[in-house]
């Protein structure tokens, strides 16, 4: 039976081939936990990503955590939950969840143009207080996945907007993640179109998007400690210009995102990473839809 509401048993999405199991039943629980530990014992996997994790009872996940961490203490447990997830992040179930609230805020602002700047800043500040810092430090931050349309499609092909969104993502506390093919400007609509094959033929030394991602990842590696331990502030410094500033022990990381319709000029003559910008007479000029990131050390 493919999909029916007339089933004699509970099923996920009313699909007969996906019956719901009673995870409170000791035999069922024992079987499932043996599956979870099998892959650690036999293949030394590094993590479990738990699909639709909010539809399984909390006690099962507590027992799951104990079982898998007993086999591998540094295993990463990631839950797929699309909303605020504090009940699963109290230290006895998951290490992190897929951070879809952050994803939607960033896409609404940079890719869809649906949010005013002050509302966007308010949302990001609010989300930063959802969880304890040690949870935020390992939160799984993403913009698209196998369950969503690809970000270049969301941006209607505007590669510069995608670069800005990715740069902002990589400046957030947590673990930034890109969906395969993003680094090669792969497009795709909603599932299953978002699961296109990897366009390996685009891999080349002169691929702008690939080189941008390499530079962005390298910069993130270099400032990871500052982001992990520092204090952050967001502000609208000019109309529709967002400033992100991280500070830690006298070191500073600054970024300016120009979402306005005019150029923005900064009295600064250097940049670590810049899109749609230029340097002239020791000034940074950021064009609309561009951004600049630079460091200031003590």
Q: What positions carry a catalytic annotation?
A: 51, 80
Q: Of the candidates 145, 188, 163, 183, which has an alpha carbon nearest to the alpha carbon of residue 289?
A: 163
Measured CA to CA, the distance from residue 217 to residue 176 in angstroms comes to: 9
DSSP string, 25-51: SHHHHHHHHHHHHHHHHHH--SEEEET
Q: Are 246 and 235 in contact (CB under 8 A)?
A: no
Q: Are 109 and 121 in contact (CB under 8 A)?
A: no
Q: Buried b vs exposed e over 89-110: b needs ≥16 C-beta within 10 Å?
A: beeebbbbbbbbbbbbbbbbbb
The alpha-carbon radius of gyration of the chain (Å, integer) is: 22
Q: What is the DSSP letter of 193?
A: G
Q: Are 278 and 263 in contact (CB under 8 A)?
A: no
Q: What is the DSSP letter of 111?
A: I
Measured CA to CA, the distance from residue 124 to residue 212 in angstroms comes to: 24
Measured CA to CA, the distance from residue 256 to residue 264 in angstroms comes to: 9
Q: Report which secondary-structure segment, H or E, holds 78.
A: strand 76-79
Q: Is 120 helix (H, G, I), strand (E, B) or coil?
A: helix
Q: Are 17 and 7 in contact (CB under 8 A)?
A: no
């Amino acid at each position: 039976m493919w999909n029916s509401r007339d089933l004699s048993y509970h099923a996920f999405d009313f699909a007969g081939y996906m019956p719901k199991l009673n995870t409170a039943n000791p035999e069922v629980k024992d079987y499932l936990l043996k599956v979870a530990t099998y892959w650690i014992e036999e293949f030394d996997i590094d993590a479990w990503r738990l699909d639709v994790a909010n539809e399984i009872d909390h006690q099962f996940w507590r027992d799951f955590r104990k079982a898998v961490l007993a086999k591998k203490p540094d295993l990463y447990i990631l839950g797929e939950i699309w909303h605020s997830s504090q009940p699963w992040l109290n230290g006895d179930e998951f290490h992190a969840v897929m951070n879809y609230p952050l994803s939607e805020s960033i896409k609404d602002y940079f890719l869809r143009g649906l949010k005013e700047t002050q509302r966007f800043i308010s949302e990001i500040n609010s989300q930063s207080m959802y969880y304890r810092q040690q949870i935020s430090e390992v939160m799984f931050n993403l913009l698209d996945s196998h369950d969503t349309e690809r970000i270049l499609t969301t941006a209607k092909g505007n590669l510069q907007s995608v670069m800005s969104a990715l740069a902002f993502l990589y400046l957030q506390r947590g673990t930034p993640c890109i969906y395969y093919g993003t680094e090669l400007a792969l497009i795709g609509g909603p599932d299953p179109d978002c699961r296109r094959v990897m366009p390996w033929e685009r891999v080349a030394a002169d691929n702008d998007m690939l080189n941008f991602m390499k530079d962005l990842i390298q910069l993130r590696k270099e400032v990871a400690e500052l982001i992990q331990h520092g204090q952050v502030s967001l502000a609208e410094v000019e109309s529709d210009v967002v400033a992100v500033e991280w500070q830690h022990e006298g070191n500073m990381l600054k970024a300016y995102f120009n979402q306005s319709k005019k150029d923005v000029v900064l009295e600064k003559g250097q940049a670590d990473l810049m899109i749609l910008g230029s340097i002239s007479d020791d000034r940074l000029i950021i064009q609309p839809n561009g951004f600049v990131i630079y460091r200031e050390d003590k």
